[in-house]
A and B are shown apart, each in its own frame.
Chain A
Amino acid sequence: MIKMVEFEDVIGWTLRIGVIISAILIIFGFALILIHNGGGPYTLNQLVNPQSNVNTKTIKFSTIYSGVESLNGVDIILLGLIILIATPVLRVFIGILQFVREKDYLYTIITIIVFFNLMFAIFIIPQIIK
């Protein structure tokens, strides 16, 4: 029973920290964009525009890391969004550990299937579509 309580605390903190970090990054990214009147190669008008063509297809995933290092506001916002998406993924992963610890094999397998679906959507589908 004590173990379960521990896990639930870990899950609660994972969710809370994930949301807080991503919110801080997004706010920081917006601040940088406003200060620099744009982000990276894009002007403020190109970014804040309903018809903007700056999106997750035009910005290559591999360039986000270097953009974050050079304090490009757009890439910092995207990093915040990545962390937001990763939070439930991490939560499912913790779920696998929790069921293993409880020796509940049926639910360990079920949770691994859910985790596989997530990995399939994140890593395998982009490879197939490309």
Chain B
Amino acid sequence: MMELIYFALLAIASIISGFLGSLVGLGGGTFLVPIYTLYLGVPIIYATGASLISTIATSSGAGSAYVKDRITNVKIGMGLEIATSGGAIVGSLIAAWVYSHHLASIIYIVFGIVLLIQIYFQLERSKFEIPKESKPDITTKIFKLHGEYYDQALNQHVKYYGVRWWLGEIIMFGAGLISGLLGIGSGALKVLGMDWAMNLPMKVSTTTSNFMIGVTAATGSSIYWMYGYIQPIIAGITALGVLLGAFAGTKVLPGMKNKTIRYVFTFILLFLGVEMILRGLGIIR
């Protein structure tokens, strides 16, 4: 009986995480890892392992729908994926080193800090749907950083081009590293790399980031697998739950775009972020 209750708790927590994640455009992992470790007693290695796997599920699930829209820029995504997959290898090896030296508290603290940083992006985001004009640079030409898509909300074809490929690559290495270290998709950092550094439109950044998350997480997952961070039951139920929650989230998303909701999520991020840091410092439990 205890087993069934625990199983149900994991299912509910992962559905909620997937749902919240898709509403604010973050992966399920952002909410999942804190809820699992702080409230359900899941060891952090299993929580991050399950989270990373579930990230692949949501990326592929959403990706199959995005491909039709043709907004994802596969060239830009693939080019940046060199850095993210490299970063993911380094990040997951660092995670393995940290865990094997019984320094898991570091992961809690870094996780908490990353949650708090996300708050900034939540508040600053979507100020500009289409970025300001900037001059194409040499990387625009070499790496063919351009494209166009049809924007339904604006009812127009948007032509765009990207700049500063090198800066994008540097940020993406960091995004991959965080993804491997914490077992999350680090989509917010990927969007920052494309939106801010490369001056790409928000829609292109988010859909391309979604495509990249799956590849990054697959890289990290295989290393997590080898170190035994994947507990089949926890990872299995999490992948299903987050997928289901994210799917439900995308269905209600169009009707839910007001500021109040964003502030509620910001508060949840703040709360979980502070708790993760306190846990890492050994102040709570």
Contact = CB atoms under 8 A, between A and B. Distances in A.
- Among B88, B143, B217, B234, the most chain A Cβ lie within 10 Å of the Cβ of B234
Contacts of B150: none
A81 B215 contact: no
A102 B89 CA distance: 30
A92 B215 contact: yes
Contacts of A85: 53, 56, 218, 221-222, 225
A29 B82 contact: no
B89 A120 contact: yes
Interface in B201-229: 214-215, 217-229
- Centre residue among B40, B92, B240 by max chain A CB count within 10 A: B240
B147 interface: no
A121 B6 contact: no
A107 B144 CA distance: 10
B163 interface: no
Interface in A29-65: 29-30, 33, 44-45, 47-52, 54-59
A107 B233 contact: no
A114 B70 contact: no
B263 interface: no
A44 B53 contact: no
B207 to A, nearest CB: 13
B236 A88 contact: no
Interface string A92-130: 100100100000101100110110011011100110010
B178 interface: no
Contacts of A111: 78
Size category of the binding interface on chain B? 35 or more
A77 B60 contact: no
Given A15-B67, A57-B227, A87 B56 contact: yes
Contacts, number: 180
A117 B67 contact: no
Contact of A114 (B3, B68, B215): B215
Given A74-B232, A110-B82, A49 B3 contact: yes
Contacts of A22: 57, 239
Interface in B62-100: 63-64, 67-68, 70, 74-75, 78-79, 81-82, 85-86, 88-89, 92-93
Contacts of A88: 56, 59-60, 214-215, 217-218
Given A8-B70, A27-B240, A15 B215 contact: no
B236 A121 contact: no
B237 A30 contact: yes
Contacts of A74: 232-233
Most buried by A among B7, B40, B218, B239: B218
Contacts of A95: 74, 78
B254 interface: no
A129 B223 CA distance: 10
B243 interface: yes
B230 interface: yes
24 contacts: A15-B61, A15-B64, A19-B57, A26-B236, A26-B240, A49-B3, A52-B231, A52-B233, A55-B46, A55-B230, A74-B232, A80-B236, A81-B53, A81-B230, A85-B222, A86-B218, A87-B56, A91-B60, A92-B78, A104-B75, A114-B85, A122-B222, A125-B93, A125-B222
